[in-house]
A and B are shown apart, each in its own frame.
Chain A
C-alpha cells in the first residue's frame, strides 16, 4: 500500500516569514494530493489540493508543488500569521480505487507573533 512521509514534525516561524512542509509518497500511481489543517479539538479542514496532471497550484498565501518523478510534494505558506498555527497533514490517494486517503504524520506549525 501507499506510504506517506512528512517533514518536519514541528516547525516554528516568525510572523511574516514563510513555512514549507514536505511530503514524499511511495506509490507512483497515486494521483490526488490534498493538504489539511487541523486545529485543536477540530476535524481536518481542506486548505488546498493538487492532482497529478498539475505541477503547482496557488491560492492566495498558500501554494502546493508536486514532483511526480521524485514522488514529492510540498506546502508553502507565505506571509505567515498567528492564525496559521495548527497541525498540517498531507495525504495521497489513488482516486479510481475508492479514494482511500493515506495521511502523513503531521507537522505542528507555530507562528510566533
Chain B
C-alpha cells in the first residue's frame, strides 16, 4: 500500500484547453515527482517538487507547470493541450532521506 493518491482517474479534454491534475503524497513524504507515460513506453520525468520548490525538470516545455502545497500535495498544470499530451500522468512521492519513489495509480488524460 503506497498511500499516494491521484485525481481524477480519467480526463478527456480538447486541444488548446488547460488541465490540472492532483496528487496527495504518502504520509511523511516531502518530495513529489511527476512523470508522463505514453502508451507502451516507460515513464518520462517532467519535474520534481521539494518543500514547495521545483527541484529538477525534465525535457518538457514551460506549458507544463506545477505546484506543491505546505501539506506536500501537488498539482500538475498543462496549458494549450496538444494531441501528443494524451498519456498516463503519474505522481510519485518520496522522503528526502531515502531514494525510493512510490507511485500513485495515475491519471489517464485523453486529448481530442
List residues of chain A with CB under 8 Å of any chain B CB: 4, 6, 32, 34, 36, 41-46, 49, 51, 89, 91, 93, 95, 97-106
In the assembled complex, 10 residue pairs joining A and B whose CB atoms fall closer than 8 Å, in A order, are A6-B42, A43-B90, A43-B105, A49-B99, A99-B56, A100-B58, A101-B35, A101-B43, A103-B44, A105-B42
CB <8 Å contact, B102 and A46:
yes
CB <8 Å contact, A98 and B56:
yes
CB <8 Å contact, B2 and A45:
yes
List residues of chain B with CB under 8 Å of any chain A CB: 2, 4, 6, 31, 33, 35, 40-45, 48, 50, 55-56, 58, 90, 92, 94, 99-106
Q: Which residue in chain B gives the minimum CB-CB distance to A31?
A: B99
A contact residues around B4 at 8 Å (CB): 43
CB <8 Å contact, A44 and B55:
no
CB <8 Å contact, A43 and B106:
yes
CB <8 Å contact, B105 and A106:
no
B contact residues around A89 at 8 Å (CB): 42-43
- A93-B99, A99-B31, A99-B56 known, 16 other contacts, Cβ within 8 Å: A36-B103, A41-B105, A42-B105, A43-B105, A44-B43, A45-B2, A46-B100, A49-B99, A99-B33, A99-B94, A99-B101, A101-B45, A101-B92, A101-B101, A106-B41, A106-B42
